[in-house]
Amino acid sequence: MSIRFDASDALASWGRVVKATHLVARPRFPDELPSLLAGFSAAEPGLAVGLRRSYGDSNLNPAGRVIDMTALDRLIAFDRKTGVMRAEAGLSLSQALQVLVPQGWFLPTTPGTRFVTLGGAVANDVHGKNHHAMGTFGASVTRLKLHRTDGSTHELAQGDPLFHATVGGLGLTGVIEWVEFRTVRISSASLEAQDTPFENVSEFFDMSAETKETHEHTMAWVDCSTGGSSLGRGILSCANWSPHGDLMPHQEEPKKKMPMDAPSFALNALTVRAFNSIRHGLKTMRNGPYHTHYEPFFYPLDAIAHWNRLYGARGFYQYQCALPSETARDATIELLKTIVSSGQGSPLAVIKNFGANPPVGLLSFPREGTTLAIDFRNQDEDTLNLMADLDQIVASAAGRLNPAKDGRIPADLFQSVYPKWQEFCAHVDPGLSSAFWRRVSA
Amino acid sequence: MTDKNQVAASSNLVVILGALSAIAIATARIYASEGAALMLVARSADRLKGLADDLRARGAKQVETAVMDLETAAADAPRHMADWMAKLGGLDHVHVIYGYLGTQKKATSDPSELARITSSNYSTAVLWCEAAANIMRAQKRGSIVGVSSVAGDRGRQSNYAYGAAKGGFALYLQGLSHSLALTGARAVAVKPGFVETPMTDGMKKGGALWASPEKIGKILRRAADKGGPIQYAPGIWRMIMTVIRTVPAFVFHKTKL
């Protein structure tokens, strides 16, 4: 059966702001890739996509061709002694964990959802709650195989310039066929965790400076609806792997799902504030260490399939910036003030410190300092204007924005905060492109 | 895994015919997670090798592959089946999954298309089933699970070549199940409705009636252990097809189904 591209309106990014038609092909075997790629050209570029958890438009190619990689999901090898796994790029982290955990291994680092493909994890050089300990996912990648649209294939390792363009390269340097990566030993599938409330964002900075030394996994939820002395109050979560417990992996299918789009009033400023306030109160009462399976700690939102529908049919934006240590505290306060006064903040604001690990990819997002991520329900001009204001604060603090989350930054901003972008351009496969890339490379 | 699965693992010697289809891969992965021994049969050596590596990494105790065209090799079905049984050290479950949808339009004008639809979905499929049944009759246990289709429940203008072959296959398995009833061995026809596989590419997918290959895989795996001779996948299709079968011809003939 020869494989072909079929028109689909169903392909969207996680933020669901852009509605577009794509021509989609879903190969099931790697030997089908070359003929699909042969049709891509600079005039009609294509793009490979995975589980589409990027929020903006880095995984979209409207009116163009897209290769859905999710059926290329075979394990190629897993060495139970060394923990090195090689698998096709469409394998989800979730599926990888089903194999790793019972054998006493875990992903070196994991983003906040397990519904990410290996290819996506590399192309976005994803980070997790243990960035300060393990760096990004790319740091644990030992080899990968890349197909270019000129028909060439490349097996790449750390040190190869094309490897460092491909890690964090947003799928623009070629199509990744497989990824080989190191995993880490665990003696149980559980964590010893602790939630500690903080009354304002300055307290977060003081507390997280300490937990960095004592805990492998840390992140904090931040309330974006209160100002004054409670500006940036929240809960700091930190954890270490537990030596006690079994090696039971998570349950693959989410227990609940959002059956349809939420109506627009469901997430207005009032409910956001109520949600945050309740959460704050609850967490204040449970102050002390607790034993938890990794699933609710690492993947709280995966418990509800299609949670992005909570933001309604018009979708939402996520704004994620990384701020260098020197400016992080002041800039974070400035950002939170702007968000609070806009009344557009969501319950899903996350703050975390990045470690000093050098970036693996030319376009890798994390840098030493602090990262802040906030969701904004799409309210067109109001939201875009607010984010433009935030851009000013980030730019003057010498910070940068995460391409995996972005669906709107102008080219000059992208180019100024990613100084290696021109070096990256030299590695871009002319037959590949995305809506994001066309915008920021203009 | 439950205790039941651990017991099953020691006696999971499984042959899968048409091992590279999306449904077959989903089924094989369930067996692999139980630590089963698998014999995978399909046409492409490279793809079989890739799948075998995947199943080993997922926990399969043993994975063997055999490269052949199942339609032409069916004439030698008893010999192949005995060979595979020897490689696995026994035979517990045989899944006949390969098939060919074809197009009714082409089958109407091109006899070779009609012959292929009939051969792939019925006349060679039953040869494999009978070869397996003879082994299972003798050992008094084991199961044969064939993939039929809801299309086999009523002849329709849009795909009666495929429907008749799949319907005939289900009827054969039903008879086989009857013939095995007193031996302890079993035969099952599983009838999926709409499944999201490459076979259905080009159709509009994603409605409430569409099932994933993983869901059908679970049903096939369960059918190997229990259930009646005709199983709909998922079960809702039994009701839908009862209705479709009961519509009188003078009404049905006005539809484009």
Q: Which residues contact B257 (CB under 8 A, 6 or more apart)?
A: B156, B157, B158, B244
Domain that holds residue B205: 3-252
- How far apart CA A315 and CA A17 sit, in angstroms, is 5
In a domain, A167, yes or no: no
pLDDT of residue B9: 43
CB-CB neighbors (< 8 A) of B201 in chain A: 1, 3-4, 6, 26
List phi, psi (to 5°) of A48: -95, 135
Give the 3-state secondary structure of A7-27: EECCCCCCCCCCCCCEEEECC
Q: Secondary structure of chain B: what % helix, strand, coil (to 5)?
A: 55, 15, 30
Q: Which residues contact A329 (CB under 8 A, 6 or more apart)?
A: A201, A202, A205, A370
In a domain, A433, yes or no: no
Shortest distance between the Cα of A219 and any Cα of chain B, in A, equals 32
Of A3, A4, A77, the CB nearest to B57: A77
pLDDT of residue A343: 86
pLDDT of residue B255: 86
Question: How many A/B residue pairs have CB atoms within 8 Å?
Answer: 42
Which of A5, A73, A74, A118 to mutate against chain B (most B CBs within 10 Å)? A74
In a domain, A340, yes or no: yes
pLDDT of residue B57: 93
In a domain, A441, yes or no: no
pLDDT of residue A226: 84
- How far apart CA A305 and CA A309 sit, in angstroms, is 9
In a domain, B257, yes or no: no
And the tokens for B211? 């099932």
In a domain, B42, yes or no: yes
- How far apart CA A173 and CA A431 sit, in angstroms, is 9
Q: Is the pLDDT of residue B68 over 60?
A: yes
The 10s digit of each residue's pLDDT in A383-416 is 999 999 999 999 999 999 999 999 999 999 999 9
Residue A1 contacts residue B44 (beta carbons within 8 Å): no
Domain that holds residue A327: 190-409
Which of A21, A28, A100, A183 to mutate against chain B (most B CBs within 10 Å)? A28
Q: Is the pLDDT of residue B186 over 80?
A: yes
In a domain, A143, yes or no: no
Question: B8 falls in which pLDDT band (50, 70, 90)?
Answer: very low
Question: B183 falls in which pLDDT band (50, 70, 90)?
Answer: very high
CB-CB neighbors (< 8 A) of B207 in chain A: none
CB-CB neighbors (< 8 A) of A99 in chain B: 57-59
In a domain, B32, yes or no: yes
Return mean pLDDT, chain B.
93
Cβ–Cβ below 8 Å for A28 and B22: yes
Residue A338 contacts residue A397 (beta carbons within 8 Å): no
Cβ–Cβ below 8 Å for B57 and A76: yes
- How far apart CA A67 and CA A49 sit, in angstroms, is 6
pLDDT of residue A305: 83
Q: Which of A96-100, A131-135, B206-210, B232-236 has the lowest mean pLDDT?
A: B206-210
Of A28, A31, A77, the CB nearest to B53: A77
The 10s digit of each residue's pLDDT in B34-67 is 999 999 999 999 999 999 999 999 999 999 999 9
Query: What's the farthest any 2 CA atoms get from each other in chain B?
Result: 55
Total domains present in chain B: 1
In a domain, A400, yes or no: yes
Low-confidence ranges of chain A (pLDDT < 70): 1, 263-287, 347-348
Of A10, A71, A99, the CB nearest to B57: A99
Cβ–Cβ below 8 Å for A29 and B199: no
Cβ–Cβ below 8 Å for B201 and A6: yes
In a domain, B86, yes or no: yes
List the beta bridge partners of residue A354.
A369
Domain of B54: which CATH number? 3.40.50.720
Q: What is the per-residue DSSP string for B11-26?
A: T-EEEEETTTSHHHHH
Total domains present in chain A: 1
Exposed / middle / buried, residue A2 (Cβ in 10 Å: 0-12, 13-18, 19+): exposed
Which of B21, B46, B48, B53 to mutate against chain A (most A CBs within 10 Å)? B53
Chain B residue with minimum CA distance to A6: B202
pLDDT of residue A382: 94
List phi, psi (to 5°) of B9: -60, -35
Residue B12 contacts residue B63 (beta carbons within 8 Å): no
B244 touches chain A (CB under 8 A): no
Domain of A376: which CATH number? 3.30.70.2520
